[in-house]
Amino acid sequence: MLIQEIIRAKRDGRALTPEQVTEFIAGVTDGSVTDAQIAGLAMAIFFNGMDRDETVALTLAMRDSGDVLDWSDIDRPVADKHSTGGVGDNVSLMLAPMAAACGLAVPMISGRGLGHTGGTLDKMESIPGYDVAPDNATFHKVTREVGCAIIGQTGDLAPADKRIYGVRDVTATVENLSLITASILSKKLAAGLSSLVLDVKFGNGAFIDDMDDTRALAKSLVEVANGAGTKTAAILTDMNEPLASAAGNAVEVANAVRFLTGEHRDPRLQEVVLALVVEMIVLSGHETDLARAGERALQALDDGTAAQCFSQMVAGLGGPADFVERYEDHLPVAPLIEDVTAPEPGFLAGWDTRALGVAVVEMGGGRRRREDDVDHAVGLDRIAGTGTKLDRGDPVARLHARDEASMARAREAVLAALTIGDETPAERPVIAETITG
């Protein structure tokens, strides 16, 4: 069929058939469809939208444009989690080993930091020797033997999405719900999953501030993923303050190890991690009752099996065998560490969470340009939670900086991001809603 006729159909507001979608994506993959034609269809979709069935067809076609991983040699349900990005969001580091300890296989293909948000791969690269790009044999071996492996994109996953996104990025067609949904899910489903959980964030530290827009994205992702044959659920989480009390790379890894060993667990972080793991266990069919799934997840934490899985994963991917026991000796340490203190008494009324994420990036903990190196040692920890009662001079965060100049800029940024009030602010639930298929 003629590509221009497919574009014409969507331009005129007609629903595309699965055959038309498949034909178009095949042309994107083999190069017979031009960038101009990609732009034309993207703009037609932007204005006329796609229904659920069209979006499912687009997701599956983009998924199948490259490799789809095969886990048939693993006798466990294969599951993963996706987050839309936040500050102090180190959930993956605990979730993967906890789910593995509960009998799931989690081949987690993660990304790097984007904008003001941190990236799981950058965090894992804080661990000396840890290989985020192993060969497929190693990836499969660690996943099979340990139950989880956190790595970067492997093989040729969803190449059509990469090309389409590049065109959308320069033609003002990024902000479309169907195109966003298909882009996210095509890469995730190419990992060969039987189930998926989604952490979709809203608030001043999220990419989508408005809760209604966040709910619409979560519903689209859940409906389309289930329509594509992958059991999926989502939770909507509040990103109006950092999720963990740390934001950076090495500092978030240290926070995760302390969480797994029981040394320290941030309450909001624990609630989100447990909720996601519970959904994974139920979607996998290991448990049908949420309460029993929660007990199982907590047991994996309290009896040390989750920490053991994390330790084995790190060692299996080239990191130190004693990392969990001696993480402070292995992680990079910034030359300068200093508290930021409250300028006045009162209650911590809120954070400009995005500004905290930007402060970490400007210290070197993220990238201004794609090719920039990341300083894994810098960041913030001991970030005080909303509602904390403060006296003048009380610490509200601790800075880890490379030099005095970046320390001074970060201190100013943290203080500018801080709001102190006279009354205790109203509590906000960290989980606003759960969306199931």
In the set 10, 76, 81, 265, the catalytic residue is 81
In the set 55, 84, 120, 261, the catalytic residue is 120
Q: Is 120 a catalytic residue?
A: yes
Describe the strand order of the beta sheet including 346-351 as a list of residue ranges: 389-390, 346-351, 418-421
In the set 187, 215, 286, 296, the catalytic residue is 187
In the set 10, 63, 162, 168, the catalytic residue is 168
Q: Is 434 a catalytic residue?
A: no
Query: How far is Cα 300 from Cα 287, in angstroms, rounded to an integer?
Result: 15
Query: How far is Cα 258 from Cα 256, in angstroms, rounded to an integer?
Result: 5
In sign, the C-alpha dihedral spanning 158, 163, 169, 171 is negative
- Nearest CA among 334, 213, 245 for reference residue 256: 245
Query: How far is Cα 251 from Cα 365, in angstroms, rounded to an integer?
Result: 11
Q: Is 123 a catalytic residue?
A: no
Find the Cα–Cα–Cα–Cα dihedral 20, 23, 28, 31, rounded to 10°: -140
In the set 183, 214, 232, 261, the catalytic residue is 183
Residue owning tokens 């890894």:
253
Q: Is 72 a catalytic residue?
A: no
291 burial level (CB within 10 Å; 0-12, 13-18, 19+): exposed
In the set 82, 116, 163, 400, the catalytic residue is 82
Q: List residues bridging with 106 in a β-sheet.
A: 148
In the set 83, 110, 178, 181, the catalytic residue is 83
Query: Cβ neighbours of residue 31 under 8 Å, at least 6 residues apart?
Result: none
In the set 10, 29, 55, 80, the catalytic residue is 80
Q: Is 183 a catalytic residue?
A: yes
In the set 76, 162, 163, 188, the catalytic residue is 188
Q: Is 188 a catalytic residue?
A: yes
Q: Is 186 a catalytic residue?
A: no
Q: Is 81 a catalytic residue?
A: yes
Supply the residues annotated as catalytic. 80-83, 120, 168, 183, 187-188
